[in-house]
Chains A and B, each alone.
Chain A
Amino acid sequence: MAADKNLIETSQRFKPAATRRDFLGLAATWSAIVAFVMAMLGALRLPMPSVFPESNSRVKLGKPARFAVGSSTYFSKLRLWLFRDEAGFKAISSVCTHLGCVAERDEEGHFLCPCHGSRFDEVGDVISGPAPKSLVWVDLTLSPEGWIVADTLSDVDREVVLKA
C-alpha cells in the first residue's frame, strides 16, 4: 500500500504518460494480441488457393477448315459457342453473367438463361432480365500448328475477331 501511495505521489509530481510497469504490461498485451491476429490471418491465407484446378484454360477447338463459313458450333464441356462468318471466328461463352447458369441459344440466335430469365442478343448483349453485363467473348488464337485455341479464362473486346 505504501508503494502505491509513493507511486501516486510520484506520478502527480512528474506526470509520466505511463509507469514502466504499465508500459511493459501494455507492450506484452499488445504484442500477444498482434501475434495472435497475425497468426489467425496467416491461417486464413490457407483456404485461398494459389493454383486453381482449372488453371489450364487453353483448349484446342479444332482446325479452321472444320468450321464452315456461317456455321455455329457448341462445345458443351467448355460452355462455348464458336461462330464463323465472313469476318472470321468469334467465341461467346454461354455462361450467364447473372448467376452462372448456362444460357440456351434459341432459333433467332438469342441466348436465354433458364435460371432467372436473362435474355441476350446474338452478340451477347443484354436484352432483358437481371444480367448485369454482356456475355463474355472468349480470347481466340491460332496455334503454330494451325489449331484454333480458346482461352476460357480471358475475355476480349467485342471487335476482336480471329481472322481465318
Chain B
Amino acid sequence: MSDLGDKQTPQKPLRERSIGDEGALKEFGSNLISTPAALRESIVRHGKPTSDRAKSQTIFSNFFLHILPVRTHIHAIKATTTLGFGVASFVLFILLCVTGVLLMVYYKPSVDQAYASMLDIMHVVPTGRLIRNVHRWSAHAMVAFVMLHMARAFYTSAYKRPRAFNWVIGMGLFVLTLSLSFTGYLLPWDQLAFWAVTIGANIAQSPQELTDALGLTQYFDIGLWQKEVLLGAHQVGQEALIRFYVLHIMVLPVAMSMLLGVHFWRIRKDGGFARPSHADASSQEMPALASEPAPLKSYGLMAMMKDKTPSVNREMRNTITTWPNVMYVIGAATMVTVLAMLLLGYFFDAPLTEMANPEVPENPAKAPWYFLGLQELVSYSAFMGGVAIPAIVVLGLGLVPYLDREKEDVGLWFSGPRGRRVTLVSGLFAAVAVIGMLWFTVSVGWLRNWEATAHVPQIVITFFNPGTVLVALFAMWSVGTVRFMNSTRMGAIALFTCFVVGFVILTYFAMVHRGPNWDFYWSQSDWPVH
C-alpha cells in the first residue's frame, strides 16, 4: 500500500452474504481497528519519504508543497544565493496575519474606543502585549526584508528574462507592503498615528501644488479627490479610521496573498532561482540511481523530473531532492525569523504615544523609518517628494528588466568584478551627492532663503528643489555609466546603487538630524526643551 501501485491490485470478488453469517460484523470490527491507518493512507497516498520517489511524491502530491519542484538545484540552497530574505518576508507576512487576526478580537475601529482598546490589549488582554509587539516589529521587519530581498534579486540579476515580469510583480508586492504598513499605522489612534496619516492624506492632496500653478484646480482637482476618497472627509476622523481598517485587514492582505501566489508560482515557471553558468560547469554526471520499481503511471517521470530534457534512470545534474533538503533550509529560516520576532516582542514594547489630538501636532511629527527619507524630500516640496519622486522610483525600478536585457552573468552577485567596481563608485558618488545636497540645504538654504529669489513662484520650487536635483543627478550618472561602460547592466547597477544609498542616507538624516520644526540638530540632546 506504499504508492500508486495499489490501484492495480485486483478487486476482491463480492462475497455472497446470507443472514446469520457474521462476516460483515467481523469486517466492521477489523475496519474499526484499522481506521487510523486507513485514514492516514487516504490523506497521504505514499509511504514514508525514504526512497527518492517517495520524497518526490511528498512534495508533488501535497497541495501546500506542490509549488516547489520535487528536485532542486544545489545552487538554490547555498546561503549566498538568496540569503533567505524572500522566505523571511513571507514568514513575516504569515506571522502578521496570525497576530493581526488575534488583535482583531479586541481592537475596535472607532475614534472613541480604538485607543482604549489598544490600552486594553497592552495591559489587560492575556498575551496581548506580546502579540501586539510581535505584530508591530514584524511589520517593520517585513518592510526591511522585502527591501533586502529586492536588493538581492537586483544585484544577482534575477530580474532578467524570463524572470522580468516576476520582478514587476515584486514591485507590486513592495508597494502593497508599504501600504499595509501605512494603513496599520493609523489604527492605534495615538498622536503618532494621527499626524503621520494627516501628513499622508495631505500628500495625496498635494497634486494641487501642480494644478494650482497651472490654474487647473477649479476644473480638475485630482488632489482633493484623492484625499476625499482616502479619508471620506477633509480631516482624519472616524471615516478615515474605518477606511484604513478595511484596507488593512481585508483589501490589502487579500491582494497581497493573491500576488504572492503568482510570485511564487512564477519562480517555478521561470525556471527556479537564477544561477550562474558556472554552477553546472565543473560537476560530473551524477551516478546512476539504484534501481527501484518504476512508477506505474506513464507520466510519473515527467511530473517528477522537470527540466529541458528528461533524465532517464539517473539523477538530474547537480540536483537534490527538495524533501527534505530544501525543507530544512526553509524551516531554519522560518524558525530564526519567528524566534527573532518573539524575542523583539518580548523585550521591547511597540510605541504607543498619547491619544490622538487633532489640535496639537507632535513636534517633530516623524513618519515610520521607511518613510523618513520621503519625509525629508517632502520638506522641500510636497508633490515632488510625496508623489512624483516615489512614482518615478517605482516606475524606474519596474522598467529595469525591460531596459537592461543583457543576458550575461545572471545569478552572479554584482555581475562579477566590473559590477562590483561600478557599485562601489556609484555608492561613493551617491553618498557625496546626497550629503553635499543636505549640507547645502541646511547651511546655505534654498530659493526662499535668499533675498533675490525669496518670491519665486511655487512651480519653480516644485520642479527645482534638492530632491529633484538629486534625482536628476542620479539619472545622469546612470545614463553616463551606460555610455562609459557600454553596458545597460552597469547603468542599472549604478541607478539602483544610487537609489539604495540615497534611501539609506536620507532615512538616517531624517531620523537622527531632524528635530522640532524639522530643524537640523546634530543630536537629539541638542533639541530645545519646552
Contact = CB atoms under 8 A, between A and B. Distances in A.
B233 A76 contact: no
Contacts of A53: 232-233, 237-239
A100 B462 CA distance: 18
Contacts of B461: 130, 132
B380 interface: yes
B198 A100 contact: yes
A54 B236 CA distance: 11
A98 B359 contact: no
Contact of A130 (B201, B208, B382): B382
Contact of B458 (A54, A112, A132): A132
B209 interface: yes
Contact of B361 (A47, A54, A77, A114): A114
A102 B364 contact: no
Interface in B218-266: 225, 228-229, 232-235, 237-239, 243
Given A99-B199, A101-B198, A101-B365, A130 B380 contact: yes
A129 interface: yes
Which of A52, A54, A76, A99 has the most C-beta atoms of chain B within 10 angstroms of its own C-beta?
A99
Contact of A115 (B234, B238, B365, B448): B365
Contacts, number: 99
A49 B198 CA distance: 19
Interface residues of A, number: 28
A99 B239 contact: no
Given A100-B198, A132-B381, 6 more contacts: A100-B201, A114-B365, A115-B361, A128-B449, A130-B378, A130-B381
A124 to B, nearest CB: 15
A79 interface: yes
Contacts of A132: 208-209, 212, 381-383, 458, 461-462
A49 B235 CA distance: 13
Interface in A45-102: 47-49, 52-54, 76-77, 79, 98-102
Closest 9 CB pairs of A and B: A114-B363, A117-B518, A100-B202, A116-B379, A99-B202, A101-B361, A76-B359, A99-B199, A132-B458
Interface residues of B, number: 46
A101 B378 contact: no
A73 B264 CA distance: 61
A151 B381 CA distance: 29
Nearest to A117: B518
A118 B363 CA distance: 13
A96 to B, nearest CB: 9
29 contacts: A48-B228, A49-B233, A52-B234, A54-B235, A54-B237, A76-B360, A79-B359, A98-B202, A98-B382, A99-B198, A99-B199, A100-B199, A100-B205, A102-B359, A102-B360, A112-B517, A115-B195, A115-B361, A115-B363, A115-B364, A116-B375, A116-B378, A117-B517, A126-B448, A128-B449, A129-B448, A130-B380, A132-B382, A132-B461
A133 interface: yes
Interface in A106-133: 112-117, 126-130, 132-133
Nearest to B519: A117
Contact of B379 (A77, A130, A153): A130
